[in-house]
Each structure stands twice: as C-alpha cells, then as structure tokens.
C-alpha cells in the first residue's frame, strides 16, 4: 500500500537530493519509519521497490539466485536507458562489469583479479601505498595553509593507488582523473565539464584500448596485464568485457575512496573531540575508517531484480520487479545502530553496508580500508588541526560520490 506523497518518489531519483545531506537523510528516515519497502514511481524512470532497512538489504543481497544484478544495475532515466540500448545495439549496459553479472559468469570474472585485492597481496603493496599517503600529506602541507582538501588531496590519492594496482604510468594521472570525474559527475552541472556519461565511457575505452594493446605486447606484473591477457572459457577475453573490467576497477576504486576521505575529514572537523581522540590514540584509525564509510556512504545504491515472487516485509514483490538497495539509509537504520546520527570513531559493533553485502560485496574493500588508514595515520601525525575555510559542497548524484569541495585551513603539527 502506498502511504507516502508522490513527491518523495521524484526526490529519490533526483540527483539534487544527494547534494543536500540533510534532505537525503530526512527522506530516508521518513521512509524507514513509514514505508520501508516503498513502491517508487519517479517521473521519467521505470518503477522499483525502494529498500531502506539494513535487515532487508541483507535479506535481498544474500539470496543471489532470487535477486540478480544483470537486468538493471543503476538508476537511469527511461530516456537514457533507451539511448544506451540504441548505442549498444540492444545491450542494456554501457559497461558490463562485475556488478552487471550473475552466477557462474560473475564468479569466473571476479576470480580473475580477486587475488590482487585480498589482504595478502595488498600487504605486499603496503609500503608503496604508505609512500603515496606520505606524498599526499607532503603536498597538503606544501600547498597550505588554505586549500581544497577534496580537489587538492582526496581526489588524487586513491587514483594513484588504483593506478599502482593496474600498473598505469604516473604521467596519465590528470587524464584519468578528468575522465573519472566526468564519469561520476554526469548529473552535477559543476563537475560535468561539458561531457556526459557516454563521452566519459568513450574516453575510458580509448585510453584502456591503448593500455590493453601495449600489455599484450609487453606483459608486466599488474592487473592491466592480467585483464589484457586473460582467457575466459579457453578464449581471449572479449573487447567489451575487457574494457568493462578496466572501467569498473578504475572508477569503483577511485571516487568511492576519495569521497570517504573528504567526508571523513569533514566529520572529524565537525566533531573536534573525535579528532583529538584519534590523534591521541592512532590505534583507533581502523575503526574510525569504518565509521567514515558508514557516515559518508559514498555508494548511494545498486539494484537487484527478483527472479521469483517474494514477500519482503509484507510487500508482495513480483518476478521481474526491480529493487533499489539504499545503502545510506541502511547505514542510519535506528534498528541496527545505536544513535545512528552520531559520528563515533570507536563504534563497535559497526556492521555498516557501505561496502554492500554477499556475492557482490566490494572487491576492493580491503584495499580501500588500507589506503584510507595510511592517509589518516599520516594526517593525525603531521597536522595539528583542520578548520573549515569556506562552505563545503556535495556532488549532485544518485549513484556514487560525496564532497566536491572542502575548503580547509591547516595547521601543521
Ligand atoms: C570506501 C571505498 C569504497 C566503497 C564505499 C565501495 C563500495 C562498494 C559497494 C557498495 C559495492 C556494491 C556491493 C553490492 O552490490 O553489494 C561495491 C562493489 C565493487 N567495488 Fe567497491 N567500494 C569502495 C572502494 C573500492 C575499491 C578501492 C575498489 C578497487 C578496485 C572497488 C571495487 C569494486 C568492485 C570491482 C565492485 C563490484 C563487485 C561485484 O559486483 O562483484 N571498490 N563497492
């Protein structure tokens, strides 16, 4: 039964909602209280069930045969979905990465690179990640005392880490940063820079085609060489699958982590007692990073599609219905978290869904946590205090993102 005003449906699909943190959480709090599995019909979009409770997202995501990924993965307007189908000659996705796959296909493709993202392999890269973190804080202190923490620091560091894993040359940094920001910022007029998602995808393809060709001729020990030279069912990986893999890694590994770094620092500035506690006790850094991911929830959603009729919290889901998993909402769920609107760096337990759940749970989770830990250890050791030097601004996106501007004044330790 529909209990809420229709304007909520439009607000959920509107990227502007996510550019206003207060509004976003006000909406989700109302939905969790009044209609936690809400049939949503935004104008110009195909309808879906909006799943806002922590327990319900887990119930859906753990049943990967009943709720699949491939038919619909992100919230796009009907007009844009049609444009993609036309451009892709009937295929529903511009990019078919792990989040657009199911079953054996998903397992096979995930296993291709999985070892690179497991703790053992990430630990081997720790020294180089630590050097990149140190370099970020060197840059910050050299640029200070006033700078934009998001644009000058947070957006570069995770990009450099993912380039390290992929094995991409440092000289390509600026080009990749521009493409990634256009890829995620498509609905925000300030970060759009005249491109759109299709243009950004084409730019990515042109870039990674060159890398693939080079790595087939001269393979090296990195993830780009692994993808370029991989075999699926005894045949070389296809062009669509290869560029999709590169794009999924480059894009997923970057904006999510920079959004957490900037949003995490803002939270520490807004809670100076937590900054002081962290400085006094660096052993709290790992727990603080988890709290930052919960607090920021940079991934706003992924979809699942039901393969059978199913009852979820009393709502009758039909086979073929789509369900939007609202991670920021799950991460403020009053039934899961004690004082969910308090930022506590030592929150324990902290079973947030910032990295998703189940078979599709974030492949780069350990890498993301490791790099954020190095960055914040470096910050608390070398910075005495941060204060806001202007108004922070959030990117308008219904998919992935966080701050797009964080002006700060830094006092070195
Ligand atoms: C703080 C940073 C990050 C956050 C918050 C985050 C969040 C997420 C979320 C919510 C999902 C979807 C999970 C689901 O469907 O249940 C996901 C999937 C994924 N993430 Fe991350 N991520 C982060 C960093 C990274 C990094 C550094 C990489 C490295 C390349 C990465 C690679 C991926 C990939 C490949 C997937 C698809 C997995 C699949 O469908 O099997 N992510 N991430």
Could you say which DSSP state residue 100 is in?
A: G
- Whole-prediction pTM value? 0.96
What pLDDT score was predicted for residue 6?
84
Taking only the tens of pLDDT, the chain with its 413 residues reads 456 788 999 999 999 999 999 999 999 999 999 999 999 999 999 999 999 999 999 999 999 999 999 999 999 999 989 988 998 999 999 899 999 999 999 999 999 999 999 999 999 999 999 999 999 999 999 998 999 999 999 999 999 999 999 999 999 999 998 888 788 765 576 654 444 788 889 999 999 999 999 999 999 999 999 999 999 989 999 999 999 999 999 988 988 999 999 999 999 999 999 999 999 999 999 999 999 999 999 999 999 999 999 999 999 999 999 999 999 999 999 999 999 999 999 999 999 999 999 999 999 999 999 999 999 999 999 999 999 999 999 999 899 999 999 999 999 99
Rounded to 10°, the helix 239-252/197-217 angle is 110
Instruction: Give dist(CA 277, CA 376) in Å, integer.
Output: 13
The residue whose C-alpha atom lies closest to atom 42 belonging to ligand 1 is: 364
CB 8 within 8 A of CB 284: no
The single residue listed with the structure tokens 């790595």 is 215
Does ligand 1 come within 6 angstroms of the Cβ of 260?
A: yes
What pLDDT score was predicted for residue 245?
96
What pLDDT score was predicted for residue 251?
87
Does ligand 1 come within 6 angstroms of the Cβ of 331?
A: no
How far are the Cα atoms of 88, 154, 158, 343, 357 from residue 363, in angstroms, in the given order? 26, 21, 15, 26, 11
Instruction: Give dist(CA 230, CA 227) in Å, integer.
Output: 5
Strands (E), 55-138: 67-68
Residue 397 DSSP SS3: coil
**Closest atom of ligand 1 relative to the 372 alpha carbon:** 1
Whole-number Å distance, alpha carbon 210 to ligand 1 midpoint, is 25
The residue whose C-alpha atom lies closest to atom 9 belonging to ligand 1 is: 355
CATH fold group of domain 6-382: Cytochrome p450 (1.10.630)
Closest C-alpha to 87, from 303, 245, 194, 240: 240
Whole-number Å distance, alpha carbon 353 to ligand 1 midpoint, is 11
Whole-number Å distance, alpha carbon 355 to ligand 1 midpoint, is 6
Report H helices in 144-217.
157-166, 173-184, 189-192, 197-217
Category of 338 on φ-ψ map: left (φ > 0), alpha (ψ -120 to 50) or beta: beta
The distance from CA 15 to its chain's CA centroid, rounded to whole angstroms, is 15
Structure tokens at 208: 């990674």
Beta bridge partners of 365: none
Helix, strand counts (H, E) of the chain: 19, 14
């Amino acid at each position: 039964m529909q209990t809420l005003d229709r304007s909520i449906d439009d607000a959920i699909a509107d990227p502007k909602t996510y550019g206003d943190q207060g509004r976003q959480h006000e909406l989700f709090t109302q939905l969790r209280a009044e209609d936690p599995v809400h049939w949503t019909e935004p104008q110009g979009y195909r309808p879906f069930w909006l799943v806002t409770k922590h327990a319900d997202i887990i119930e859906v995501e753990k049943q990967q045969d009943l709720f699949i990924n491939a038919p619909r993965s992100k919230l796009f307007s009907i007009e844009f979905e049609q444009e993609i189908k036309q451009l892709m000659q009937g295929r529903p996705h511009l990019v078919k990465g792990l989040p657009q796959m199911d079953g054996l296909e998903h397992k096979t493709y995930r296993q291709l690179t999985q070892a690179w993202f497991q703790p053992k392999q990430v630990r081997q890269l720790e020294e180089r990640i630590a050097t990149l973190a140190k370099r970020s804080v060197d840059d910050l202190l050299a640029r200070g005392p006033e700078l934009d923490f998001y644009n000058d620091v947070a957006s570069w560091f995770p990009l450099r880490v993912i380039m390290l894993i992929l094995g991409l040359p440092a000289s390509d940094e600026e080009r990749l940063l521009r493409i990634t920001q256009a890829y995620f910022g498509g609905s925000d007029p300030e970060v759009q820079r005249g491109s759109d998602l299709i243009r950004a995808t084409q730019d990515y393809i042109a870039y990674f085609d060159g890398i693939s060709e080079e790595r087939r001729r001269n393979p090296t020990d990195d993830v780009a060489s692994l993808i370029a030279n991989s075999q699926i069912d005894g045949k070389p990986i296809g062009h669509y699958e290869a560029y999709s893999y590169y794009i999924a890694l480059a894009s997923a590994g970057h904006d999510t982590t920079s959004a957490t770094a900037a949003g995490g620092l803002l939270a520490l500035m807004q809670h100076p007692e937590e900054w002081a506690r962290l400085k006094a006790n660096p052993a709290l850094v790992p727990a603080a990073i988890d709290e930052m991911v919960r607090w920021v929830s940079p991934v706003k959603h992924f979809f699942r599609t039901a393969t059978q009729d199913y009852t979820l919290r009393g709502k009758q889901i039909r086979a073929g219905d789509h369900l939007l998993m609202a991670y920021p909402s799950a991460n403020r769920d009053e039934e899961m978290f004690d004082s969910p609107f308090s930022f506590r760096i030592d929150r324990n337990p902290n079973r947030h869904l910032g990295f998703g759940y189940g078979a599709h749970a974030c492949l780069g989770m350990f890498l993301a946590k490791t790099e954020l830990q190095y960055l914040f250890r470096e910050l608390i050791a070398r910075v005495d205090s941060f204060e806001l030097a202007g108004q922070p601004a959030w990117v308008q996106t219904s998919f992935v993102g966080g701050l797009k501007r964080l002006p700060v004044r830094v006092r070195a330790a």
